[in-house]
């Protein structure tokens, strides 16, 4: 019985040592789907029980006063049939109520008010190809940026809008 308790204690300490201070869980996934002639592939995802440290600007202040209950973020690649590729960052911010979700979306949709930190592969997201929606009490935000190939502004905007339907991690 003492040996079992020792093993459990060691495993518990090892697990705590690997846990990030924000209780985030990193996952790598090969999930993919195709819509509108574009293939989307999940590059990485992260889930947190808090938005603390994951927002900037007025959005950070809003979330410190009205904490979210869950934050999920994913980085996808979208690739056309001609092999032009875009990086697409999507976040799902779950708020306590649909009212606070709508308030958050109204704030984030205004230029210069900040946002949730994007998961990235080094791509800088400019906000030019942006889409958002509220689904019950969750705010979904997507941004797209070209990685290679000649993607038109219309294609990038389409990718951001299509990514709003992606499955949450």
The per-residue pLDDT for range 34-47, each reduced to its tens digit, is: 888 899 999 999 99
Per-residue model confidence as pLDDT tens for the chain (169 residues): 443 333 333 333 333 333 333 343 334 456 888 888 899 999 999 999 999 999 999 999 999 999 999 999 999 999 998 899 999 999 999 999 999 999 999 999 999 999 999 999 999 999 999 999 999 999 999 999 999 878 999 999 999 999 999 989 9
Distances (CA, A) of 112 to 50, 80, 83, 88, 108: 23, 31, 33, 20, 8
pLDDT in the model for residue 150: 84
Q: Name the phi and psi angles at 53, rounded to 5.
A: 80, 5
Cα of 4 vs its chain's centroid, Å: 39
pLDDT in the model for residue 10: 31
DSSP the chain: -HHHHHHHHHHHHHHHHHS-TT--EEE----EEEETTEEEEEEEEEEES--TTSEETHHHHHHHHS--SEEEEEEEEEE-TT--EEEEEEEEEE-SSHHHHHHHHHHHTSTTS-EEPPP-SSPPP-SSSEEEEEETTEEEEEEEEEEES---HHHHHHHHHHHTTSPP-
Distances (CA, A) of 21 to 7, 18, 53, 62, 146: 24, 9, 11, 22, 33
pLDDT in the model for residue 3: 35
Instruction: Please tell me the number of Cα atoms within 13 Å of 27 on its side-chain side.
Output: 14
């Amino acid at each position: 019985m003492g040996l079992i308790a020792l093993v459990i204690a060691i495993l518990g300490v090892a697990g705590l040592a690997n846990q990030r201070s924000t209780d985030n869980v990193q996952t790598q996934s090969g999930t993919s789907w195709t819509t509108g002639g574009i293939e989307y592939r999940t590059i990485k995802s992260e889930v947190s029980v808090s938005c603390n440290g994951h927002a900037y600007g007025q959005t950070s202040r809003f979330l410190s006063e009205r904490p979210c209950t869950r934050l999920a973020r994913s980085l996808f690649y979208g690739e056309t049939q001609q092999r032009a590729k875009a990086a697409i960052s999507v976040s799902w911010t779950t708020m306590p109520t649909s009212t606070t979700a709508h308030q958050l979306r109204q704030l984030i949709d205004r230029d210069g008010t900040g946002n949730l930190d994007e998961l990235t592969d080094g791509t800088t997201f400019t906000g030019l190809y942006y889409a958002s929606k509220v689904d019950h009490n969750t705010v979904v935000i997507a941004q797209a940026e070209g990685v290679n190939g000649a993607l038109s502004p219309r294609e990038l905007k389409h990718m951001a809008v299509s990514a709003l339907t992606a499955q949450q991690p």
